Amino acid sequence: MTLLKYLRACAICHNYLPPCDWLCSFCWKCVEREYLYSEDCYRLEKQIPYLRLIDWHEDNHLLIQYLIQSLKGGGPEFIFKRFALEMFSRILPLGLWDKNTFPLFLPVPPKNPKDKEHAFSLAKALNFYFAGELTQVLQRKISSSFQKIKNKRERAKINIIKTRADFSSSKPIILVDDVLTTGSTAKACWRALNQPKNFFVFSLVWKKPKQGNRKLNFL
């Protein structure tokens, strides 16, 4: 079974050159070139600190698109662990919280409950390295018209609720998503948690919204 995982085509270029560790060595090099330096992983926007491993922009658009699509098809656990380790090694030196406190990882609830939970897989992998606690206290209230909602103003109204009304934490709370675009989902989660102070958003990729062209925010 272990060997079978490696007998597959590269998830990006589809070249069949086993053994292949999800991507072929050439595609891994291309992806690794996109990893941000530790000091560039952090950005503060409207009081919320966002941390990501890769910026998704025009120059690497196709590469990252294929990577994300391959994960949406159901990436195995080891791929999330690989990314989580890269994130860990960059984020830890930033000293975001006291080293004696252990953070709480909260995956963003999936848009569709039937979807494979990539945010959960990434949160689990990050939790492994940061030695924190993984919990799921957020849920999406899905209206029948939700799938049709595309524009930013409507998306900002995303209804996220706490599943445990008494939930609160003095630990750093880390919201985890695979791809972050406008941040409206993250903001909705922050509000649902009663706007905690020690709140961070970790994502694998930040898809920079192209100014004046909202159509690019398709994820």
Q: Which residues contact Zn ion by CB under 5 A?
A: 10, 12-13, 24, 27
| Nearest to Zn ion of 14, 116 (CB atom) | 14
| Nearest to Zn ion of 13, 161 (CB atom) | 13
| Nearest to Zn ion of 10, 71 (CB atom) | 10
| Distance from C-alpha of 153 to C-alpha of 198, rounded to nearest angstrom | 26
Radius of gyration (Cα) for the chain, nearest Å? 17
The helix/strand/coil state of 199 is strand
Contacts with 13 (C-beta within 8 Å, 6 or more apart), sequence order: 23, 24, 26, 27
| CB of residue 25 to Zn ion, shortest distance in Å | 8
| CB of residue 37 to Zn ion, shortest distance in Å | 24
The helix/strand/coil state of 103 is coil
| CB of residue 23 to Zn ion, shortest distance in Å | 5
| CB of residue 59 to Zn ion, shortest distance in Å | 18
| CB of residue 31 to Zn ion, shortest distance in Å | 10
Give CA angle at 52 (54, 11), nearest 5°: 45
Alpha helices by DSSP H, the chain: 2-6, 25-33, 61-72, 77-91, 118-130, 152-155, 184-192
| Nearest to Zn ion of 13, 96 (CB atom) | 13
| Nearest to Zn ion of 20, 53 (CB atom) | 20
| Distance from C-alpha of 218 to C-alpha of 111, rounded to nearest angstrom | 13
| Nearest to Zn ion of 16, 163 (CB atom) | 16
Question: Which of 160, 156, 118, 162 has the alpha carbon at shortest distance from 140?
Answer: 160
Q: What are phi and psi of 26, to 5 degrees?
A: -65, -45
| CB of residue 6 to Zn ion, shortest distance in Å | 14
